Amino acid sequence: RIVYVNGDYLPEEDAKVSVFDRGFLFADGVYEVTSVLGGKLIDFDGHAKRLARSLGELDLAAPVTTDELLAIHRNLVERNDVTDGMVYLQVTRGAAPDRDFAFPDPDEVRSSLILFTQSKPGLADSPAAKTGIRVISIEDIRWGRRDIKTVQLLYPSMGKMMAKKAGKDDAWMVEDGMVTEGTSNNAYIVKDGVIVTRNLGTEILHGITRAAVLRFAREAQMRVEERPFTIEEAKDADEAFITSASAFVTPVVEIDGTPVGSGTPGPVAERLREIYLEESR
Ligand code: PDD
């Protein structure tokens, strides 16, 4: 695989980052995941905009322009022959000469940019889309700026492991009795035809797939409510689903052992998945 590191395209085994990189030492960095379907990048502009926002919120300098970023994405997809899969991008504050909590002077230490691809043949017809996934609920103990897409992913990883240990697929996180989001996706329920998902704020990541799916839902005259909901409300819903760049729209058929609705993927999730895939390809 060819990867991108700070201006160079290199075989993965030759790519290097410093042991002093602040991404590595302080999780001082942000990332984006953009899906590739049929060789085409899905929603690149949305991901580029969110990246700019994440960088701004952390006073991190953009290492390249958006046009350059697009060229790098395209280059990697082509060089690695990615038909279906994803491009991972990470910007960190770079390698300061000493381990110091204070940010280094941006004129002296340049931010670092790396990208790589991952091929996932048949990404759009994953088995989970047909069967739906089963989730557990866990307490959301992440930091309070989940709207910034930082590389601090330890708790979401632990959540995923808690789900796996319980024989399930993923975890929905709950704060003050209200569902925030999945470990790496946004969470939705459907009740009496109304799609409900948490409103935007610092409590959740502003999903790029979320924005697209809500737009398509409204265009299709479906009713949408952006507000917090409880796990009890979710268990009692007609349907539940998640969205993310890698899962697109994936039905949730069970929460904490309780089947949601019929316990099989629901029509709203299936329709939104179809619309999303058709419109974004
Ligand atoms: N995760 N919420 C969280 C906590 C996420 O990590 C993600 C994305 C989303 C969905 O955002 P989007 O629709 O822009 O992908 C919501 C990516 C896919 C990941 O970490 O792999």
CB of residue 54 inside a 6 A radius of ligand 1: no
CB of residue 205 inside a 6 A radius of ligand 1: yes
What are 182-205's pLDDT values in tens digits? 999 999 999 999 999 999 999 999
For strands 133-139 and 248-255, give the pairing: parallel
How deeply is 199 buried, as exposed, middle or buried, from its count of CB atoms within 10 A (0-12, 13-18, 19+)? exposed
Same domain for 173 and 113: no
CA 218 / ligand 1 centre spacing (Å): 22
Instruction: Confirm whether the ipTM is greater than 0.90.
Output: yes
Residue nearest to atom 6 of ligand 1 (CA): 184
CA 187 / ligand 1 centre spacing (Å): 11
Q: What is the CATH number for 152?
A: 3.20.10.10
Same domain for 42 and 60: yes
178 phi/psi in degrees, rounded to 5: -115, 140
Locus of tokens 């866990």: 138
The mean pLDDT of 76-96, rounded to a whole number, is: 98
Known catalytic residues are 149
Cα(161)–Cα(181) distance, integer angstroms: 16
pLDDT at position 126: 93
Cα(24)–Cα(151) distance, integer angstroms: 9
Same domain for 109 and 143: no
CB of residue 186 inside a 6 A radius of ligand 1: yes
Q: What is the CATH number for 11?
A: 3.30.470.10
Q: What percent of the chain has pLDDT over 90?
A: 99
Same domain for 132 and 116: no
Contacts of 277 (CB under 8 A, 6+ apart): 37, 124, 248
Q: Which of 63, 90, 121 marks a domain boundary?
A: 121
Same domain for 146 and 28: no
The mean pLDDT of 103-116, rounded to a whole number, is: 96
Q: What are 192's two structure tokens?
A: 């009496």
Same domain for 115 and 59: yes
Q: Which domain holds residue 28?
A: 2-121
What are 137-180's pLDDT values in tens digits? 999 999 999 999 999 999 999 999 999 999 999 999 999 999 99
Same domain for 259 and 153: yes
pLDDT at position 225: 98
pLDDT at position 281: 87
The mean pLDDT of 111-120, rounded to a whole number, is: 98
Number of domains in the chain: 2
Average pLDDT, the chain: 97
